[in-house]
Amino acid sequence: MTEIWVLAECSAGGVEPVSFELLGEARRLARKLDARVAVLVLGDHVENEIGILAHYGAETVYVIQDSRLRHYDPELICTSIGELCTLHKPSLVLFPATSTGSDAAVRLSVSYDWPLVPRCVQFRVHGRDIEMVRTFAHHKIHGVMTAAGGEPRLATVEPDILGLQQADHGCRAEVVFVPVITPKQRQIDVCGFIPGNPRELDLREAEIIIAVGRGMGSQENLRLVEDLADVIGASIGCTRAVVDLDWLTHSAQIGQTGTTVRPRLYLACGISGATQHTIGMKDADTILAINTDRGAPIFNIVDLGLVADVNQILPLLTKHCRQECEGT
């Protein structure tokens, strides 16, 4: 029977939501193609992630668990996935278009000569064919592609586009443990990992975001936010008003015409809470806001709100966090 596979993206916090988006799409395609859905999950301790993948549509979970997969090792991952694909011959494999998902898809495509369509945002079924719609030029143009070069076809999928489908907590999956496969000849050795500067992270990957709005008063006052961000390891985002004022660039803009983020902690500083902004951050795990106006709409969606002047509160917060970090 035809199979559609998804590569799950896992981090220290568990399975990343993009994996559930891809599973939802795989399930939708599988219904039309009378196919089965399987998910690949790789890591050093991934046994806790198996159940939730079934709830989002995986009928089979292939688990490749090995201490060497604690961090992304491109050759181990590609050889292991490549051999499994060669054995089971899935028709389509969906990868999240994240840094690791894209890297793995490109390596597999080159190593095994499998067709790859990157940055897909939509899939359409015509008979037994799948059309893949991908983006070009920062979403300005969409291209419709089919992959004729044999199976499996590989596709990377943009996060936050397809949306999450409802989980079914009653679903169970067949679980297949598969050994990691070491490449015959190593070309790359992974020597270690250096944590990145949160300020340079793609906001979609940030765990903590301090977002600034027009209420910061001036570009010079952003220094107060940078000080706090350095102490707590936060990334900095902003509203469109801040981009329009040229205080920050569009890559920092969160919202309808910016980036959609889902950090563990979101601190909104001097942000009114217009829906065009909140649509891009409302799913953060915890939302804090500082605003002088107690009637500001942002307070309708916060876990904790502070009616105060950001420029007075931020230096106090930075001092307190610095003391906490230094244990004094």
Minimum distance from CB of 103 to ligand FAD (Å)?
Answer: 29
DSSP assignment string, 20-32: HHHHHHHHHHHHH
222 binds ligand FAD (CB under 6 A): no
Residue 28 or 214: which CB sits closer to ligand FAD?
214
Q: Give the whole-angstrom CA distance, residue 292 versus residue 296.
A: 8
Q: Give the whole-angstrom CA distance, residue 314 versus residue 144.
A: 48
Residue 48 or 218: which CB sits closer to ligand FAD?
218
Q: Give the whole-angstrom CA distance, residue 129 versus residue 167.
A: 27
Q: How far is CA 218 from the centre of its chain?
A: 32
19 binds ligand FAD (CB under 6 A): no
Minimum distance from CB of 158 to ligand FAD (Å)?
Answer: 17
181 binds ligand FAD (CB under 6 A): no
DSSP assignment string, 293-321: -TT-GGGGS-SEEEES-HHHHHHHHHHHH
**Local structure of 69: helix, strand or coil:** helix
Stretch in the footprint of ligand FAD (CB under 6 A) among 87-95, 153-161, 173-181, 308-316: 308-316
> From the list 28, 32, 214, 282, which residue makes contact with ligand FAD (rule: CB under 6 A)?
214
Q: Give the whole-angstrom CA distance, residue 115 versus residue 136.
A: 18
Minimum distance from CB of 310 to ligand FAD (Å)?
Answer: 4
> From the list 198, 213, 237, 305, which residue makes contact with ligand FAD (rule: CB under 6 A)?
213
> How many Cα atoms within 13 Å fall on the side-chain side of residue 226?
9
237 binds ligand FAD (CB under 6 A): no
> From the list 33, 272, 302, 314, which residue makes contact with ligand FAD (rule: CB under 6 A)?
272
221 binds ligand FAD (CB under 6 A): no
The sign of the CA dihedral 310, 316, 322, 327 is: negative
Structure tokens at 68: 């060497």
Q: Which residue has the tokens 């799409």?
A: 25
Structure tokens at 53: 């993948």
List the x/- string, 283-302, binding to ligand FAD by CB under 6 A.
Answer: -------xxxx--x------
Nearest to 312 by CA among 217, 199, 209, 208: 217
228 binds ligand FAD (CB under 6 A): no
Residue 24 or 213: which CB sits closer to ligand FAD?
213
Minimum distance from CB of 294 to ligand FAD (Å)?
Answer: 9
240 binds ligand FAD (CB under 6 A): yes
239 binds ligand FAD (CB under 6 A): yes
Evaluate the omega torsion of the peptide bond into residue 315 and state whether it is cis, within 30 degrees of 0.
no
How many residues touch ligand FAD under the rule CB under 6 A: the total is 29
Which parts of this chain interact with ligand FAD (CB under 6 A)?
213-215, 217, 239-242, 253-258, 270-272, 274, 276-277, 280, 290-293, 296, 309-311
